[in-house]
Amino acid sequence: MSPSYDVIVLGLGGMGSAAAHHLAARGARVLGLEKFGPVHQRGSSHGGSRITRQSYFEDPAYVPLLLRAHELYARLARDSGRRVATLCGGVMVGRPGSRTVAGALRSARTWDLPHEMLDAKEIRRRFPTLAPAADEVALYEARAGFVRPEHTVAAQLQLAGQSGAALHFQEPVTRWEALPGGRGVRVHTPDDTYTAGQLVICPGAWAPRLLAGLGVPFTIERQVMYWFAPAGGTAPYAPEQHPVYIWEDAAGVQIYGFPAIDGPDGGAKVAFFRKGTLCTPENIDRTVHEDEVRAMAAQAARLLPTLPGRFLSAATCMYSNTPDEHFVITRHPAHPDAVTVACGFSGHGFKFVPVVGEILADLALTGETGHPIELFDPGRLTAAPVPGGVR
């Protein structure tokens, strides 16, 4: 007979490793099941860096979660001894009415977040690598920066293990079911069958298959990250003086990028925020093509003329989008007593990883959370979830 657990966590990427850490730290007997190895490159939590920011243009409702995530990243760094987050400042650049600028300003004002508004001349003076158009402005915030996805996942797995969680890698979940009468869940893998009181599902880009029963029309998008060696060297791009940035052009196209965070040879990373192509985890094209590199270099050069000096490398990654690009974090509507899900992070979830772990631990252990997660209710996206339609 396989041992029984309090909670099984399906998927040990960004969100699942956070859940395993928070659950185990609260004393739950946790089993984590992951299809691939620890800290792998085949999901959504790799590529060296993720932007973190607080004046959130997407919606002010995210701000309390961002403030909590900020505290929990600091605690994670302290407890694991790993450098998981760096605040180098950040600029949201665009026309004053753009979503990037106006949305960020709305969040900053709603929550009274420290920020500065810079006109084009001031942007150029403060950040000489940036060359905005005369009618562009920026919201600058000192409490923006970057988090390290691989270090974060490794830190969370390390702490989960130290708190007694059993973490099984290379062991995919093939099927799960909620047991009748509130008796928990049964989870199947090629190696074994496990039972637990609770299941927490953090499937990333595998959500369309693993959570078909939710009835949410997820779309999985191939995204590319690019690293360039700036013309004239990386010194002006050093994180001590260079912010992270998101820039929206007049046509609404957003790019984002980072300082040169890996020293003189690492280059600086830049990417289109959206503009991906549809894919599945099975058929994603992992090759980055020359025309893609050219298009990225041309767009980046409009704001940062020296950035695309020499192309260094590129890598693909997947977004798991919901139709409105807001997350799904909830008790499973068809199994509200036993199953919790976190998915559909729509390309902006990593900065929330530790607070999502805290929320998932709340939901799995007590059935509720004090954090504001109303925006993430899947009911907004689907009139009627398919009862029992789960795999």
Ligand X SMILES: Cc1cc2nc3c(=O)[nH]c(=O)nc-3n(C[C@H](O)[C@H](O)[C@H](O)COP(=O)(O)OP(=O)(O)OC[C@H]3O[C@@H](n4cnc5c(N)ncnc54)[C@H](O)[C@@H]3O)c2cc1C
Closest distance between ligand X and the C-beta of residue 115, in Å?
18
Residues 121-138 as b/e (b if ≥16 CB within 10 A, e otherwise) read eebeebbebbbbeeebbb
Pick the closer one to ligand X by CB: 38 or 119. Answer: 38
CB atoms within 10 A of CB 387: 11
Contact 94, 103 (CB under 8 A): no
Pick the closer one to ligand X by CB: 34 or 248. Answer: 34
Closest distance between ligand X and the C-beta of residue 121, in Å?
28
Query: Of 258, 257, 259, 256, which is closest to residue 238 (Cα–Cα)?
Result: 259
Contact 307, 230 (CB under 8 A): yes
Contact 242, 234 (CB under 8 A): no
Closest distance between ligand X and the C-beta of residue 135, in Å?
26
What is the contact surface with ligand X in residues (CB under 6 A)?
Answer: 10-16, 33-36, 43-45, 47, 50-51, 172-173, 202-206, 210, 223, 225, 271, 317-319, 345, 347-351
Angle at 53 between CA 156 and CA 220, to 5 degrees: 70
Closest distance between ligand X and the C-beta of residue 122, in Å?
25
Closest distance between ligand X and the C-beta of residue 143, in Å?
14
* Diameter of the chain measured on Cα atoms: 70
Which residue sits closest to ligand X, CB atoms considered? 13
Closest distance between ligand X and the C-beta of residue 224, in Å?
7
Closest distance between ligand X and the C-beta of residue 112, in Å?
22
Pick the closer one to ligand X by CB: 120 or 212. Answer: 212
Pick the closer one to ligand X by CB: 45 or 306. Answer: 45
Pick the closer one to ligand X by CB: 172 or 305. Answer: 172
